[in-house]
Every structure is written in C-alpha cells, then in structure tokens.
DNA sequence: CCATATAGTTCAGGATATAAACTAAATGGT
DNA sequence: ACCATTTAGTTTATATCCTGAACTATATGG
C-alpha cells in the first residue's frame, strides 16, 4: 500500500524530527485508540478518525499500514440496521501475543498474554530456586518457555516478544540481576536468549514488584490511575505507577518500600540496615513473630503460612499481634511513601492480599495516626492478582512497548 | 521569511501530529542546542547542524524563525584565522528575561533572570508574612514587581514571563496556595495578575522547595543530575529532579520530606501526624531543643538562629545535641527517600546549608546505619543557593518552558 | 590571483496531513 | 422498483517540512 522509498535504516536514537516521525506518532495514536476501546468493541475507520482527531483520509492510510503490520485485523462489515454504508470493524489482532515469565523463590512460571492484555494460557511450576545457580533456573524456565511457544504455534499465535520478572533489582540493559537476596543471587547476568527462540523480538527484564504494578494498572479505575503497588512476598517490593507509567527512578530501582525505615531502634535487616519495614512486615518476620519461625524444621514456607492463617482464624494472640504490628508498620511506611510520591492510592499484593482482614484495620489506623491530613483521601486496596500478576505485567508492558512503536513492524 | 498560511488558531491541546509539529519540535531542538552550549560560546549555524543532526538547510530556516521570535540574536561574524567563510555567532538573546519572585515567612523577593539562567538583578525585602492576609502580601509583592519591571525597561530588557515560589502546597492551574502552614494560609487563591502587567505572558506558581531544586539543578555536575533537594526552612520541603525534570507527582506535591515519619513514638506534628522529620529537624524544633525556644519573647527568629550558631561554635551541649539529633533523623528520612526514589544524590539547602559542619557527620553516620548498602554511593551536598534560590528556580523553570515551545513566539 | 576550505542559501524532490470531492453501500419512503 | 438520504471509506489537489545536492559567499594561503 505504501511506497517506502527511504529504506530501513536503523534510525539513530536521537534523530531529529522529520515528517516520518509524524507518521510514527500517528500510527501509535491510531493504535492507542483501537487498544483503548473497550474489548470486543470494534471501531470503524470513521470512529477512529473522530476519536484520534485525525482526518478520515489519514486514518485510512494509517490503518492500511497497521493491517500490513499484523497488529490489527478487520473483522468484516457491521450491519447495525442504521442507514449508510456499513462499517468495517478493526480490532487488535488476537493472534499476536507476548510471552511473560517469572522466577520467584518457590516457583517459575510462564504464560501468553495477547495484545489486549488478556492471559491466554499459563503454567506455574513449583520449584525451589533459593540459592540455586541462576543458569540452572534459566534452563528450567527455558523448558517451560518452549512448551509455551509450542502451545502458541499450535494455536497459530505469533509471539512478538517476551518479559521476565524476578524478585530483585535488575539492570535491564545488560539483563543482569544485580541483587536478589531472597534468591541468593548477586550480579547474575541471565542468558535470556535461551528463553525465546526468535532473537529479533523484544525481550525485557523486570523487577517483580514493578511487573505486578504494571499488571495491577489494568485493573484500576480511572480515578485511581496513580498508585503505589506494594508487593508482600518473602521480601517487600514496590512499584509506582504515575500518569500511566512506571516510575522507575534513575537506575530503575524506585519504590523499594521494604527498606523504608519504620523503627529507628528496630531489628537488623538483611540489607545491613536497621528497622526496615521488611524486618516487621516481611513474610519471615511475621512468621517468626507468630511463633512459626524456622524452628519447625522440614516444614515448607507454604505450610507455615497455612498455619499462620489457621492461627489468625482461631484468634491466637501471637499471630494476631504479629500481623497487627506488620500492619502498623506498613501504615508508617505507606504514610511516608504517600507523602514523598504524592499518591493517594496504595494497592497491597502478594501475601498481603490474603492478610487483608487482619492487616487493613491496623494499617488504616496507623495511617490515621501518622498522616491524618491525607488519611482521609487515602485509598487502600488489595490486589486480586495471584501468582500470575508478575508475568502478566511483564508481558503486558512489552505489549505496551510494541503498541507505542508500531512503525517497527510496518513496511 | 516564512509564509504562514494557516493563521494562528489556538491549537487544541491533544491535537494529532501533523507536519507542523515537526517544525515545533525542531525549533525547540535548535534552541536547546544553543542554550546547551556553554555560555559565551557562540555557535554557528553549521555547528548547530552538526549537534542537532539536522541539515544545514533546515537549521538555516529554523534559525531564521528563532531570530524573528527574538529568542536568539546574531553576534556578528567570527574571524578565527581559519580558512573558509567566517561563521555568524548565535546566542540566546540577552535582552530577554523572566521575572522570579518569592513569598517566604520572613521576606518577599523578586529578580530578573535571563534566558541563560543568570540572575541579573534582584531585591529582597524583609517582611513578616506569617498570618498576614494573602492579598496584602500580593500587593506588597506587586510593588516590588513593578520596580523590577521598571528596571527591566530601563535596560531594554523584555520580560517574557514570571514565576512565583511560596512555602506551601500549591495548585498551579488555579494559582491557589492550598496549604502553607508556616504562612498560616489555607486555600488562598492569589491574584497573580497584579504581579505582571503583561497579561499574555506565561506565569507559574511553585512550591518553594521545588523551585529551589530547579535552581540547584543548574549547579549540578552531569554525574549528579538526578537528586533530591531538601529545603530546610521553617518547614522542611523537598524537590526531586529526575532526568532533568521535576518529579512533582499527580497533584504536584511530591517530595514532602518534612512529613516522613522518623520516630513512630515521636512528638506530634503541625500536620496532625506524629514523629515527622519536621518535629526533629525543623527550624523551630532545633531551636527549641537547643533551649532557644519561644521563651525568649520579642526576639526574632533570625536572632535566635544567630544565637544557635554561637552556641554551636562555642560547643554548648544542648545546641550540639539538638543539631546532631536533627542530623540523625535527617539520615533516617533520607535513607528512606533514597530507597523510594532511587536517587543517590541529596542536596541540603536553606538553613541546613549553614549547619553543614554540625549536621553532616550525624547525617552521614545515620545513613550508614540505616542504609549501608547505598550509603557508599550516597552523595550528600550542601547548596550554595541563598535566599535567591527559589526565585531563580521559579524564573528559570519558566525560561525552560519558553525554550521548549518557541513556536509560540514565532510568526 | 587562484586553489582550497568552511559557512550559509537555494532549489528540486519526497513524505505527510488536510480538506474537499468522490465512490461505495446500506436504509427508507414512495 | 426506484431514488433520496445517510454513513463509510477513498481519491485528489495542496501546503508544510525536511533532505540532499548544487550553489553562492567569504575567508586563508601559496
């Protein structure tokens, strides 16, 4: 459809603006309108023209390119009984997807996420990765990834990219996990080429909390679009979404709520510090305070957590006090974070979600004590995302990248 | 030079991309190159073409527009003894400026800042604004502003906009000071039209700490371009600069370090909370702890602060302990903030700068205790900005806005 | 006085968006 | 059966803008 005279040149990152950039921006603009329409709500070229404020002529041309790229498809004409020529529906191509993966302390997982952000299939494999060589874990995940790729092929699904989430600080450019204390990893460069056969597709590496925050973003009401996601796992991570974007900070490690100081005279933390939130509200800290510490040998963490729930249900003092203390400290940390980030919505995920009943009263009360002037507007939410949150977020973020630069797939 | 067929239409905010946008972006690009060159280093059109990666032809055309806008000027030909046609120097027009102002607890101020960010003239007028009607303060500031405008006219300086900094939370769009506890203001809408006669020029309202952070930005080394500015005045404010931009948060109130909780069992704060940094390291808190509290009636804060310095110099226990305690808590708050924002540079300004000698050891030590893993890379700096910081930052930020959208002044 | 070198301008050409005219394909009334 | 009406989508003429190449302008050096 388009005549491409200027041949594919790698385009220097800080190239100046020329008319071609307008096309790139408008391709993304049209795609954003299509993606933004509520699922299953097919838009016509005319609808897109109205919503994007581009002319029908431009939209026709842009849509032609997007069809060629395979990112969208036409879904036949729509006779709605109205007068006039029927419209041709345009939707995101359901046969395109991105593979999301996660390495966590107790499991690895992988799944396929389509362009609308829907999880199509996934698989979670329990696996103790703590203190295991990173290469071995990657090999195991590679296995899982292959299965997913075969599943995709069987359904004629084309995989456009991949994302991996790990519970630690990462350096995306070098695919390196800088620190993952709960995995016992330090400065581990991951051979992500093993995870996706197609080498030219985009692959990204995320912190688990950031990935989960990105997944949570899909579930938020417009009024709560800016929020802090607090991931309570073995460690406590955080991911901040401001203005529909992840705020990652200069090195991409922003939002680390777990090491906010909540008790200046508190216990030593694994980070070397003292009185960090993690020392009170981390999974291990809660279990220990609830008398479910490592004393019980040969009992898995999952089993100990089950016992914690039982103890809470039956109203056993140590457990209830442990969680209330965690909630109070969570309130202190959240009060500070809300002030610093200027967000009013905080979403608790991971094991915090399951503790909502016992955690929320203490956290709310603590917030009222430490930040009464903002406690009124504060919205504390608990995430419905389970173990698939991180992989969905990682994949969806890559989807977002693709939808933002569709020109890469055009012509 | 340019034929403007499409006449000035207000341009809808979310207008789609058309070829005209390329021009807007490239005007800004060229201007950024000129502004980015070290002061006094005159760039030729050819230099600009090289640095901007635009062609000489484009640059010539763009420069013509910028000359017409008055944002830049030619400064004659440059014979450097080399072969070839001599180049024509291009610099930011030194006859253009922005007026910056500040309302603080003890003074009001105004000054003229040129397009390169240099403070040309300024005036600081001591004035007790606490609990004074906002309108009266604006009237006084209006007086000062008029003097500045006359000074500008006398020097053939054209004022292109203005910025005002206040010690409190603001809502820029409505020019409202939402909260300024130290001024005793709440929900005060400022009649900023009184401050600048030209109504069509840009006028912005800033939080004092944010404005100071923007001023501090000009002084930072490239390696420390991301930083948190901590403004210690009567209250403690903060401003975060990430990626050369102010991170203001959803409502523009991010960075409020003063109400980070540093002592869960601490004193009540004016914000209604408890154990906020301000209750330990705020000016009043330090003075009180140093036995220089309000007991001494009829003594101005400035006098009490002088006495504090004397007490510190002569090694009086209560004063030294008070500042050491403040420094320790500052370390706690900064540890948390560094974790949350992922910044490694923190710049202390306001009265903290004068306390450097006594504050720094305690803060450094505290940071090592509470965040040893990042204390090594942490860079704690003290700002040389005095009372003019906020007004410079407010004005310079407006300059930045102008330089980012030069097309408004073209044609 | 001319070769050389660098700065800056002019001009033809291609890409893009826009507006208006035009074609396509339905409904509904007579 | 036929045509007016309505809406969807395409075609075409035009203007803007950047680019690359050719060209002009102005210096130095032999």
Cβ–Cβ < 8 Å for B57, B21 = no
pLDDT(B2) > 50: no
Cβ–Cβ < 8 Å for B387, B47 = no
Q: Order of strands across the sheet with B176-180? A: B169-171, B176-180, B185-189
Cβ–Cβ < 8 Å for A92, A115 = yes
Element (H, E) at B108: strand B107-114
* % of chain B residues with pLDDT over 70: 95
| CB within 8 Å: A259 and B21 | no
For testing the chain A interface, which of B11, B16, B169, B407 should be mutated: the one with the most A CBs within 10 Å?
A: B16
Question: Phi and psi for A381 in degrees, rounded to 5?
Answer: -125, 160
The set of residues, in sequence order, having a beta carbon less than 8 Å from that of A365 and lying 6+ positions away, is: A328, A331
- B252 contacts in chain A (CB < 8 Å): 342
Residue B268's pLDDT is: 96
* % of chain B residues with pLDDT over 90: 85
- CATH-assigned architecture of domain B96-214+389-404: 2-Layer Sandwich (3.30)
- Report yes or no: B247 at the A interface, CB cutoff 8 Å: yes
What are B71's two structure tokens?
A: 């944002």
Which residue gives the smallest C-alpha to C1' distance to D8?
A85
Residue B242 CA from chain centroid, whole number = 14
H-only helix segments in B218-350: 278-281, 283-289, 301-313, 317-341
Nearest residue in A to B223, CA atom:
A250
Torsion of CA A58, A63, A65, A70, to 10 degrees: 170
B 155-214 → A contacts, CB under 8 A: none
Residue B168's pLDDT is: 94
Residue B201's pLDDT is: 84
Which B residues between 312 and 371 have a beta carbon under 7 A from any strand C atom?
A: none
Dihedral of alpha carbons B19, B22, B27, B30, sign: negative
The set of residues, in sequence order, having a beta carbon less than 8 Å from that of A164 and lying 6+ positions away, is: A100, A101, A102, A103, A141, A190, A192, A195, A203, A204, A205, A206, A394
CATH 1.10.10.10, domain B20-93, yes or no = yes
The string over B78-99, giving b where at least 16 C-beta atoms fall within 10 Å of a residue's C-beta and e elsewhere, is: eeeeeeeeebbbbbbbeebbbb
Which residues in chain A are classed under CATH 1.10.10.10? 20-93
Other residues' Cβ atoms within 10 Å of the Cβ of residue A197: 12
User: Could you report the per-residue pLDDT of B16-73, keeping only the tens digit for each?
Assistant: 678 999 999 999 999 999 999 976 688 999 999 999 999 999 999 999 999 999 999 9
User: Could you report the per-residue pLDDT of B23-37, keeping only the tens digit for each?
Assistant: 999 999 999 999 999
| CB within 8 Å: A254 and B342 | yes
- CATH number for the domain whose boundaries are B220-382: 3.30.420.40
Q: B162: exposed, middle or buried (C-beta count within 10 Å: 0-12, 13-18, 19+)?
A: buried
Residue A9's pLDDT is: 36
Q: How far is B178 from chain A (nearest CA, A)?
A: 13
- A273 contacts in chain B (CB < 8 Å): 335, 369-373
Nearest residue in B to A228, CA atom:
B340
Asked whether strand C has any atom less than 7 Å from the CB of A297, the reply is no
Question: Phi and psi for B237 in degrees, rounded to 5?
Answer: -115, 175
Residue A199's pLDDT is: 67
**How much is the mean pLDDT over chain B?**
93
| CB within 8 Å: A370 and B261 | yes
| CB within 8 Å: B372 and A248 | no
Cβ–Cβ < 8 Å for A67, A75 = no
Which residues in chain A are classed under CATH 3.30.420.40? 96-214+389-404, 220-382
**Minimum mean pLDDT among A129-133, A234-238, B248-252, B300-304: which range?**
B300-304
Please give the Cα distance from A343 to A337 (Å, whole number): 8
Cβ–Cβ < 8 Å for A124, A107 = yes
Q: A207: exposed, middle or buried (C-beta count within 10 Å: 0-12, 13-18, 19+)?
A: buried
- B250 contacts in chain A (CB < 8 Å): 226, 242-243, 342-344
Q: What count of residues does chain A have?
A: 411
Residue A410's pLDDT is: 85
Q: Greatest CA span in chain A, whole angstroms? A: 76
Q: How far is A265 from chain B (nearest CA, A)?
A: 9
Residue A15's pLDDT is: 56
- From residue A21, how far is each of A24, A310, A406, A407, B27 by CA, in Å? 5, 59, 12, 10, 15
Please compute the mean of the pLDDT values over residues B178-183 and round it to a whole number.
92
As averages over each run of 10 residues, the pLDDT of chain A (411 residues) reads: 38 64 96 88 94 97 97 88 91 97 96 97 95 96 97 96 96 95 94 86 95 98 97 94 96 96 95 95 95 74 92 95 98 98 97 96 98 96 96 98 94 71
- From residue B52, how far is each of B29, B30, B218 by CA, in Å? 7, 6, 22
Cβ–Cβ < 8 Å for B296, B304 = yes
B 365-394 → A contacts, CB under 8 A: 369-373
Please give the Cα distance from A173 to B120 (Å, whole number): 44
Cβ–Cβ < 8 Å for A283, A305 = yes
- Report yes or no: B264 at the A interface, CB cutoff 8 Å: yes
Torsion of CA A61, A67, A70, A71, to 10 degrees: 70
H-only helix segments in A37-123: 45-52, 56-69
Q: How far is A249 from chain B (nearest CA, A)?
A: 5
What are B128's two structure tokens?
A: 């007790």
Pair type for strands A176-180 and A185-189? antiparallel
Beta bridge partners of B176: B171, B189
CA angle A32, A48, A410 (to 5 degrees): 55
| CB within 8 Å: B248 and A342 | yes
HEC assignment per residue over B322-349? HHHHHHHHHHHHHHHHHHHHCCCEEEEE
The set of residues, in sequence order, having a beta carbon less than 8 Å from that of B315 and lying 6+ positions away, is: none
Other residues' Cβ atoms within 10 Å of the Cβ of residue B231: 32
Q: How far is A239 from chain B (nearest CA, A)?
A: 10
Residue B47's pLDDT is: 97
- A333 contacts in chain B (CB < 8 Å): 336
Please compute the mean of the pLDDT values over residues B383-388 and round it to a whole number.
95
Q: What is the DSSP string of B360-411?
A: HHHHHHHHHHH-HHHHTT-EEEE----TTHHHHHHHHHHHHHHHH-GGGG--
Asked whether strand C has any atom less than 7 Å from the CB of A85, the reply is yes
Q: How far is B4 from chain A (nearest CA, A)?
A: 18
| CB within 8 Å: A247 and B252 | no
| CB within 8 Å: A271 and B371 | yes
Cβ–Cβ < 8 Å for A254, A246 = no
The DSSP letter of residue A193 is G
What are B237's two structure tokens?
A: 């404010």
Pair type for strands A345-350 and A227-232? parallel
| CB within 8 Å: A373 and B271 | yes
- From residue A121, how far is each of A204, A387, A391, A402 by CA, in Å? 20, 14, 11, 20
Cβ–Cβ < 8 Å for A187, A178 = yes
What are A324's two structure tokens?
A: 């209330």
Dihedral of alpha carbons B291, B296, B301, B304, sign: negative
Question: Phi and psi for B149 in degrees, rounded to 5?
Answer: -65, -35
- State the Rg of chain B over Cα: 23
Please give the Cα distance from A339 to A374 (Å, whole number): 8
């Amino acid at each position: 459809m388009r005549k491409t005279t200027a041949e594919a040149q790698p385009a220097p990152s800080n190239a100046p603006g020329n008319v071609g950039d307008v096309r790139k921006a408008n391709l993304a603009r049209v795609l954003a309108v299509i993606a933004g329409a509520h699922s299953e709500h097919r838009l016509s070229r005319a609808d897109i023209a109205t919503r994007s404020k581009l002319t029908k002529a431009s939209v026709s041309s842009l849509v032609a390119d997007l069809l060629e790229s395979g990112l969208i498809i036409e879904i036949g004409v729509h006779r709605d009984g109205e007068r006039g020529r029927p419209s041709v529906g345009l939707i995101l191509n359901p046969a395109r997807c991105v593979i999301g993966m996660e390495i966590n302390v107790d499991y690895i997982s992988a799944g396929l996420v389509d362009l609308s952000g829907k999880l199509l299939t996934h698989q979670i494999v329990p696996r103790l990765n703590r203190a295991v060589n990173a290469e071995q874990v990657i090999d195991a995940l590679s296995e899982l990834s292959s299965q997913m790729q075969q599943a995709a092929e069987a359904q004629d699904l084309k995989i456009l990219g991949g994302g991996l989430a790990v519970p630690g600080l990462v350096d995306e450019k070098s695919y390196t996990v800088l620190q993952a204390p709960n995995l016992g990893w330090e400065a581990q460069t991951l051979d992500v080429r093993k995870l996706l056969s197609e080498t030219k597709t985009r692959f990204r590496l995320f912190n688990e909390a950031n990935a989960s925050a990105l997944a949570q973003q899909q579930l938020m009401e417009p009024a709560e679009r800016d929020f802090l996601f607090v991931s309570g796992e073995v460690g406590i991570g955080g991911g901040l979404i401001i203005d529909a974007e992840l705020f990652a900070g200069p090195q991409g490690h922003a939002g680390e709520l777990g090491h906010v100081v909540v008790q200046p005279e508190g216990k030593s933390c694994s980070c070397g510090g003292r009185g960090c939130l993690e020392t009170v509200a981390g999974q291990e800290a809660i279990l220990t305070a609830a008398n479910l510490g490592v004393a019980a040998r040969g009992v898995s963490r999952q089993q100990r957590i089950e016992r914690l729930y039982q103890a809470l249900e039956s109203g056993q003092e140590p457990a209830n006090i442990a969680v209330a203390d965690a909630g109070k400290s969570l309130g202190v940390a959240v009060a500070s974070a809300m002030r610093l980030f200027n967000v009013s919505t905080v979403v608790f995920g991971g094991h915090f979600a399951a503790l909502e009943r016992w955690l929320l009263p203490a956290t709310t009360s603590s917030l009222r004590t430490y930040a009464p002037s903002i406690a009124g507007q504060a919205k504390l939410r608990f995430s419905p995302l389970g173990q698939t949150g991180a992989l969905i977020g990682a994949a969806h973020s890559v989807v977002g990248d693709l939808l933002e630069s569709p020109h890469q797939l055009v012509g």
